[in-house]
Amino acid sequence: MEATDYLKSFFTEHWKYMAVSAACKLNIFDELESIMSAQALATKVGLNEQKTMLLLEVLFDLGFLIKNSDGYKLSELSSLLTEKHPHSLKYACLNWSSEHMDAWQFLDYSIKTGKSSFEYVYKQPFFNYLNSNSDRLKSYHKAMFEYARVDYRQLPTIVDFGLHKTIMDVGGGLGAAIEAIKCYNPELDCKLFDLEKVLAESSVCGVEKIAGDFFITIPGIHNAIILARVLHDWNDSKASIILQNCHKALQKDGTLYVIENCINSTSDSLALLSLNMSAMCESMERTDNEYIQLCELHGFHYETQKTLNKLQTILIFKKR
C-alpha cells in the first residue's frame, strides 16, 4: 500500500471501533439472540430502521455480524460483546470510547504541560470523576474486571500464597485477583480493600470486604498485601502515599506483591499505553527498576520477581 493510501485509511480507523462501541451502547449484540432482520431489531430496541440497517452493514463488513437472506446474527467477535458471555468484553469495549476519547482529543495539552488532558477537559482528576458518577464507576470496574479475571487466573500457581495466614488485595476493584487466590487457597484468610461504592458491586465469595481509602489508611495488620495494577495509575507522589500506608498495614517482615506492566520486561511496546496513562492520570508505565526504587524509598526490601503473563510482572518485597 502506498503511503498516501495508508494514511487516508489510518485517519479514519477509529470509525470502526466507534461503530462497534455504539452497538454495545445500544445493546444490539445482547438483543440479537437469534437471526433477525434490521427492521425487527430496530423495532425491538427502539431505533431508527434506516440507520440501524446502515450500522448492521458496517458491523457485517467488520466481521462482527454474520448475514444471510433472513437477516443478521452474532459472530464469534460480537458474542464476546454480550453480557451473558462467560468471557465478555462488552464493558472493556465501552471503556475506551467515552472519557478516554475525550481526553485524547486534547493529547497535545498533556504533551505541552505534562498534565492530565482528562483533567483539563473534565475539570477534575479521573478517579474523582468516577467516584462522583456511579454509572461510570460501575462500568469502569466491570471493564477492569473483564481484563483482570484473565490476567490473574494463573497468579496463585506462580506464587505460593499459602505461605501466608492473611492477605489483602489493596485497591482490588471487584476482586478478580483475590478471588483467584482464594479459590486456589481455600484456607487462606483473604480480604478485599477498596472504596465502599466499589465493593458494593463485587460478587466475590469467601473474601472479607473492607471499605476505605488507601490514601488515608489501610486498616489491620496483614501478612501480605497485593497491589495489582494500582501504582501505575498514580504519579510518584501519590504512589508514595499508597506505599507508606501499605507499609504501616503490614506486619514485621510482611510481604508486598506489586503486579505491573514493566516496560523492560515485555517484548511489546508500552509507549501507547503509557501515553494514555499520562493523558488520563498524569501517570505512566514504569520499568521494574523504577518500581523497585519507589518501593525501597518507603521501607521495602526487594527480593525477587516472577513473570505473570506476556505483559505483567510480579515484584516481591519484604517490609524492612
Q: Where are the domains of the chain?
A: 3-80, 150-319
Cα–Cα distance list, 251 to 30, 118, 176, 259 (Å): 48, 38, 24, 20
DSSP-H helix ranges across the chain: 3-10, 13-25, 28-31, 38-45, 49-61, 76-79, 90-95, 99-104, 107-113, 117-122, 126-131, 134-151, 155-158, 176-184, 196-199, 236-249, 271-281, 288-296
Q: What is the pLDDT of residues 201-251, one digit of tens each?
A: 999 999 999 999 999 999 988 999 999 999 999 999 999 999 999 999 999
Give the pLDDT band of residue 79 (cuts 50, 70, 90): very high
Q: Give the per-residue pLDDT at 1.
A: 72
Q: Give the per-residue pLDDT at 292.
A: 98
Please tell us whether the domain made up of 3-80 is placed in CATH 1.10.10.10. Answer: yes
274 three-state secondary structure: helix
Q: Which positions ≥6 away from 287 have C-beta within 8 Å? A: 262, 263, 264, 265
Instruction: Using alpha carbons, select from 249, 84, 258, 247 the residue that is nearest to residue 177.
Output: 258
Classify residue 2 by burial, with Cβ atoms within 10 Å: 0-12, 13-18, 19+. exposed
The CATH fold assigned to 150-319 is Rossmann fold (3.40.50)
Q: Give the per-residue pLDDT at 318.
A: 98
Q: What is the pLDDT of residues 240-296, one digit of tens each?
A: 999 999 999 999 999 999 999 999 998 899 999 999 999 999 999 999 999 999 999
Q: What is the pLDDT of residues 17-54, one digit of tens each?
A: 999 999 999 999 999 989 999 999 999 999 999 999 99
Q: Are 311 and 290 in contact, with CB atoms under 8 Å apart?
A: no
Q: Which positions ≥6 away from 174 have C-beta within 8 Å? A: 141, 142, 144, 145, 148, 198, 201, 202, 203, 204
Residue with cell 465478555: 88
Instruction: Using alpha carbons, select from 15, 187, 22 the residue that is nearest to residue 94.
Output: 22
173 three-state secondary structure: coil
